[in-house]
Amino acid sequence: MFEKLEALKRRIEEIDGLLGDPGVIADNKRYVRLVKERASIEEIVSLYDRFRMLSDQLAEAEQMLRSERDPEMIGFLEDEASRLRAEIERLSESMKLMLIPKDKDADKDIIVEIRAGAGGEEAALFAADLFRMYTRYAERKGWDVEPMSSSPSDIGGFKEVIFSIKGDDVHSRMKFESGVHRVQRIPVTESGGRIHTSTATVAILPEPEEVEVEIDPSDLRIDVFRSTGPGGQSVNTTDSAVRVTHKPTGIVVTCQDEKSQFQNKEKALRILRARLLDEERRKRAHEEAERRKTQVGSGERSEKIRTYNFPQGRVTDHRIGLTLYRLESIIDGELDELIDSLIEDERAKALKEMAES
């Protein structure tokens, strides 16, 4: 840790020198980049400076204690040393957390895709429950939810539902929801009272800016058609629904919820950009995992991450072995305890990896 802190201290001194260079000042882009870099490391370097100062003070107090004979002075020095140790420990923990690599998508809004998995109509109903759960959670956090595309089932569920969430810390909290969610309950369609297991898949995609993912118009095939509802019946008299096919990757996005063809196309392109960015990052993550000979864990679409057991009223997150017996409130959008536990687990693993590196 201290090697990294020393390197950051040297870097801030180097940046200070560069910011006074007339050549750097004349290069506005480089100057702004250096100012931003300095701002990003200034706080941890300041904490490190204070850490070193207090460490020197502690060493001095301990040295004085070894030679001091006056009981009153010994008591004072012991209290001072205890105070310094506590402050040094607090600073050390703060610096460790600040050294954890930042989530590069922390400030991004997200696009959420929920798809019914195994279980037929019950899976579609569960997908609708997850949509409601995330919508309620977003309301609690003061985030904005924008429906983008949906494919309703015949009895009120969703074969697929796509929506965006905008707000502070959206990605840093919601990224843990990617994966397979499993529900165990008696379906409304079950007359015998038997418990069924169904699944739905959730994908959390950071929403990129247009400049992050450039799409060549010649790579797109855009088809328009009339919107349809459950069972395939037409729900619109105009060709407002849009299907966008990205020819190089074969990714297909369909949007039909808006009455305007233009709005459906805009939403389809936003979803396409998010999927392209996600695909590229997954490819890089897989290549990195191959180089390290490790398995990519959280975020894999095929990974079963959570079980919602209605008969027992419990929710279990399999990644951290956490079981909470308050399913009703969680399904109603009270997700903070689950997500906070996942954040703490992520930090602990990052600190362990940092200590071992």
Q: Please report how the helices 2-19 and 71-99 are oriented relative to each other, as an axis angle in degrees rounded to 10.
A: 70
CA distance 108 to 208: 7
Angle (CA) 286-292-298 rounded to 5° is 50
Q: Are 179 and 305 in contact (CB under 8 A)?
A: yes
Backbone angles phi, psi at 250, to 5 degrees: 80, 5
- pLDDT, mean of each 10-residue run, the chain (357 residues): 85 91 89 88 90 94 90 92 94 83 79 92 94 97 93 89 92 93 86 84 87 82 76 57 89 86 88 88 69 42 86 95 96 95 88 70
Give the C-alpha distances (Å, rounded to integers) separating 102 from 90, 172, 351.
Answer: 20, 10, 13
Residue 333, amino acid: G
CA distance 315 to 324: 5
Residue 89, amino acid: E
Q: Is 206 helix (H, G, I), strand (E, B) or coil?
A: strand
Q: Is 259 helix (H, G, I), strand (E, B) or coil?
A: coil
Q: How is residue 323 annotated by DSSP?
A: E
Burial class from Cβ neighbours inside 10 Å (0-12, 13-18, 19+) for residue 65 reads middle
pLDDT in tens, 54-90: 999 999 999 999 988 889 999 999 999 999 999 999 9
pLDDT at 293: 45
Element (H, E) at 146: strand 144-152
pTM value is 0.70
Q: Tell how strand 179-185 and strand 241-246 pair up.
A: unpaired
332 contact partners, CB below 8 Å, separation of at least 6:
133, 136
Angle (CA) 159-161-163 rounded to 5° is 175
- 261-264 own/partner pairs: CB under 8 Å, 24+ apart: 261/224, 264/240
Backbone angles phi, psi at 198, to 5 degrees: -130, 165
CA distance 259 to 185: 37
Angle (CA) 169-172-173 rounded to 5° is 85
Residue 242, amino acid: V
Structure tokens at 36: 């931003």
Kindly report the length of the chain: 357
Structure tokens at 229: 């509802």
